[in-house]
Amino acid sequence: MATVKLENVTKRFGELIALDDITVDVHDEEFFVLLGQTGAGKTTTLRCIAGLDKPEEGTIYLDDVPVNDKTPAERDVAFVFQSHILYPHLTVYENMAFPLHPRRLSAEEIDRRVKDIAQMLHIEHLLMRTPNQLSGGETQRVGLGRAMVRRPQVFLMDEPISNLDAKLRTEMRAEIRWRQRELGTTTFYVTHDQVEAMSMADRVAVLEAGKIQQLGTPADIYNRPANLFVAGFIGSPSMNCIPCTISRTNAQLQLALSGNVGANNSFAIQDARLAKTVNQATRNSDVVLGVHPEDVLVSHQAVPNAFQSEVYSVEPLGAETIVELTLGTDAAGVHTILKSRTTPNFEAKIGQPLYVTFVPERIHLFDKTTGVALRAP
């Protein structure tokens, strides 16, 4: 198939910098996901790869060949847009078959490809309908199928399943990933949905304001976020990020979480890795603690190295329960909230006191000023 490489790519729209010195290297047959919020520059990245937009700086390579000066037709990529535009006078079957006719395939091969993809996308019953007879979700699946029948060198997918209902979206994540592995087509997929990114990607690049914040496997990004933006964006619920102060009591390192003045939200640092980070990587006593909700342990009884908090809200979700704890309020009266992922049968009531501890080896620290993760050398 093909590799895709963006080398120091910058794209501007007037004074707006949409992409700021982006460098990304997508491997052959890889399912690569670009994850970011609305306006981060995700679609602009795809448009530059496809040749619909031209970057002011940097080079784009397909299979190690520079393509900045090549037309979209010369790049052999299939672009699946977020909003699909179908030919209104053609049936679904004819829309899907349309890009195959210039390739001079036999009628039997065209028919086989169209019906195979239609079955995979659960739209085989729609093949004789016209676009005005389709729902928004059905239109999106037809547009996806029209791109998939081509078998290009590279798939460029711009949030292709965002308009589907939750159940079908879950099914389509698995189906798209399975089909991509079967065909071996290099895929560059963009989304704002971190569940899509984490469940589908071989590697993920987190994009924010036109800059790559972190690039790695889903596990790397989840377990070792590079900065506060990534920590607060990945996960559902995302990582708790609580300002705290480092102190020493009787030669024991402690972290005091923000909350009411005088509140005892402190705990001793017992993990050797974290103690080394505190001793070697911090220049001041004010940092931000990061901990995933599943690593926040709550108990009705006092346990060693625990501090007491109060239940702010309870969200029973069936397979799990999210317990929100308040650490107090700031000067503006806003609660500092700590989320814990508990078992579905954990009983908690609003206003109830609970004891809180953390999984020591799963605690992260971030520089309060720069937001960068602190890690001992």
- DSSP, collapsed to helix, strand or coil, labels residue 259 as coil
- Within a domain: residue 220? yes
138's tokens: 């059905």
Q: Are residues 223 and 247 in the same domain?
A: no
Looking up tokens 């940092």 gives 287
- CATH number of the domain residue 137 falls in: 3.40.50.300
287 DSSP assignment: E
373 DSSP assignment: B
Cα distance between the two ends of the chain: 40
- Within a domain: residue 372? no
Cα three-residue angle 78-81-87, rounded to 5 degrees: 85
Residues of the chain with pLDDT under 70: 1, 83-84, 249-252, 259-264, 280-284, 330-331, 376-377
> What pLDDT, on the 0 to 100 scale, is given for residue 280?
66
C-alpha pair distances (Å), 39 with each of 191, 212, 253: 11, 14, 42
Contact 323, 331 (CB under 8 A): no
- Within a domain: residue 217? yes
In angstroms, the CA 80 to CA 251 distance is 59
> What pLDDT, on the 0 to 100 scale, is given for residue 261?
41
Span 231-256, pLDDT tens digits: 999 988 999 998 888 877 666 677 77
Q: Are residues 156 and 22 in the same domain?
A: yes
> What pLDDT, on the 0 to 100 scale, is given for residue 303?
87
Domain boundary among 164, 197, 228: 228
- DSSP, collapsed to helix, strand or coil, labels residue 136 as helix
- Within a domain: residue 186? yes
Q: Are residues 102 and 217 in the same domain?
A: yes
Number of domains in the chain: 2
Span 81-127, pLDDT tens digits: 776 678 899 999 999 999 888 888 899 999 999 998 898 888 899 99
227's tokens: 């900065």
Q: Are residues 150 and 253 in the same domain?
A: no
| Angular region, 112: left φ>0, alpha ψ -120 to 50, beta rest | alpha
- Closest listed residue to residue 194, CA positions, set 232, 163, 156: 232
Q: Are residues 296 and 353 in the same domain?
A: yes
- Within a domain: residue 376? no
> What pLDDT, on the 0 to 100 scale, is given for residue 283?
58
Domain boundary among 183, 198, 228: 228
Q: Are residues 334 and 224 in the same domain?
A: no
- Within a domain: residue 120? yes
- DSSP, collapsed to helix, strand or coil, labels residue 226 as coil
Q: Are residues 201 and 301 in the same domain?
A: no
Work out the angle between the directed axes of helices 107-120 and 136-148 (0-180°, nearest 10).
Answer: 140
- Within a domain: residue 199? yes
Q: Are residues 260 and 185 in the same domain?
A: no
Q: Are residues 16 and 158 in the same domain?
A: yes
- CATH number of the domain residue 335 falls in: 2.40.50.140
Q: Are residues 59 and 161 in the same domain?
A: yes
Sheet hosting strand 252-257, strand order edge to edge: 266-268, 252-257, 240-249, 286-291, 364-367
Phi/psi at 281 (5° precision) = -105, -10
Q: Are residues 36 and 70 in the same domain?
A: yes
Domain boundary among 177, 198, 228: 228
Q: Are residues 88 and 140 in the same domain?
A: yes
> What pLDDT, on the 0 to 100 scale, is given for residue 250?
66
- Within a domain: residue 196? yes
Range of the domain at 45: 4-228
